[in-house]
């Protein structure tokens, strides 16, 4: 089949403003992934096209972009999920809400600043068990945060959230998911501190339960549910 990639391009060193550029590819297989098509454009037609990618297997989270209006990982989207027929056009843009550095590459620093602000690490100053083993936890306690351990920090959720588009000081769903992973870990001792951070003006209450984040998550994390659990813990003053 023939596929035209319609790509939003911008090079701040020479362009006054972003523009759309079309690249037509022949002999595309319906089971090709969008990332493969971007590689074909870069390697066969225009080497200046810029985008991030690394693992090509949905693990590193580096190739988040808007594909036909939805935030997706280019390496996880098959052409046949975007349409049928002998000729297809696929529209590709950078993630919204973050400054475009070049083409599909956005400045992730504000995103990671929010991530760092929620203490996304294990806190427990008690000495480890004397037998040298790990800190044990019941399967039920582990289950409470199992879903949020799957986050790969791709930013697809935060950059699909209208609350974040309106106010980039909002910590955003990804940072809340990362906080959730530690807040509900029975071995961690900093839940109270994290809940305090998330209760501030630009924390969880900026979430209006719009659900775009859940729809966008390539790891199928129930993002809105996790945010709801954090809201409830703040309201109750407890993670129990
Ligand atoms: Fe990506 Fe999902 Fe993590 Fe958001 S919650 S950063 S969409 S993996
Ligand atoms: Fe935004 Fe998701 Fe809340 S889209 S408003 S963070 S439910
Ligand atoms: Fe690593 Fe897509 S390239 S997630």
Q: 127 and 101 in one domain?
A: no
From CA 134, how far away is CA 144, in angstroms rounded? 19
- 197 Cα: distance to centroid of ligand 3 (angstroms): 30
Q: In the predicted model, what is the mean pLDDT of residues 137-164?
A: 98
User: Does the predicted TM-score (pTM) go above 0.85?
Assistant: yes
From CA 240, how far away is CA 238, in angstroms rounded? 6
Span 8-67, pLDDT tens digits: 999 999 999 999 999 999 999 999 999 999 999 999 999 999 999 999 999 999 999 999
Pocket test for ligand 3, best of 38, 51, 63, 219 (most atoms within 8 A of CB): 63
Span 88-115, pLDDT tens digits: 999 999 999 999 999 999 999 999 999 9
From CA 112, how far away is CA 135, in angstroms rounded? 28
Q: 180 and 94 in one domain?
A: no
CATH of the domain at 96: 3.10.20.30
CATH of the domain at 130: 1.10.1060.10
- 206 Cα: distance to centroid of ligand 2 (angstroms): 8
83 lines ligand 3 (CB under 6 A): no
Structural domain count, the chain: 2
Q: 101 and 11 in one domain?
A: yes
Q: 99 and 112 in one domain?
A: no
117 in Cβ contact with 175 (< 8 Å): yes
Instruction: Give the residue numbers spanning the domain of 180.
Output: 108-236
Q: Which residue has the higher pLDDT, 46 or 136?
A: 46
Pocket test for ligand 3, best of 33, 36, 58, 108 (most atoms within 8 A of CB): 58
Q: In the predicted model, what is the mean pLDDT of residues 191-211?
A: 97
Domain end (from 59, 86, 105)? 105
Q: 41 and 130 in one domain?
A: no
If we measure between CA atoms, which residue out of 150, 123, 161 comes closest to residue 218?
A: 150
Angle at which helix 223-236 crosses helix 191-198, to 10 degrees, equals: 100
From CA 171, how far away is CA 110, in angstroms rounded? 9
Identify the three-state secondary structure at position 187: coil
User: What is the overall mean pLDDT for the chain?
Assistant: 97
Whether the pLDDT of residue 128 is over 90: the answer is no
Binning pLDDT at 50, 70 and 90, where does residue 134 land?
confident
225 in Cβ contact with 177 (< 8 Å): no
Burial class of residue 20 in the structure, from the number of CB atoms within 10 Å of its CB (0-12 exposed, 13-18 middle, 19+ buried) = exposed
């Amino acid at each position: 089949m023939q596929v035209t990639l319609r790509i939003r391009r911008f090079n701040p060193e020479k362009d006054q403003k972003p523009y759309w550029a079309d690249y037509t590819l022949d002999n595309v297989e319906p089971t090709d992934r969008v990332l493969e098509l971007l590689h074909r454009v870069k390697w066969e037609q225009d080497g200046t096209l810029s985008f991030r990618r690394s693992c090509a297997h949905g693990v590193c989270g580096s190739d988040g972009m808007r594909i036909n209006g939805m935030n997706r990982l280019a390496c996880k989207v098959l052409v046949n999920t975007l349409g049928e027929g002998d000729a297809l056009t696929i529209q590709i843009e950078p993630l919204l809400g973050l400054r475009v550095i070049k083409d599909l590459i956005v400045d992730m620093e504000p995103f990671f600043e929010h991530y760092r602000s929620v203490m996304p690490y294990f806190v427990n100053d008690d000495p480890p068990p004397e037998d040298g083993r790990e800190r044990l936890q019941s399967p039920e306690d582990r289950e409470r945060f199992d879903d949020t351990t799957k986050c790969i920090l791709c930013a697809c959720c935060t950059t699909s959230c209208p609350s974040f588009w309106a106010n980039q000081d909002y910590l955003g769903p990804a940072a809340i998911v990362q906080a959730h992973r530690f807040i509900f870990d029975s071995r961690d001792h900093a839940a109270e501190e994290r809940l305090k951070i998330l209760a501030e003006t630009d924390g969880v209450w900026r979430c209006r339960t719009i659900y775009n984040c859940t729809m966008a998550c390539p790891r199928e994390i129930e993002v809105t549910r996790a945010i709801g659990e954090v809201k409830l813990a703040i309201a109750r003053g407890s993670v129990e």
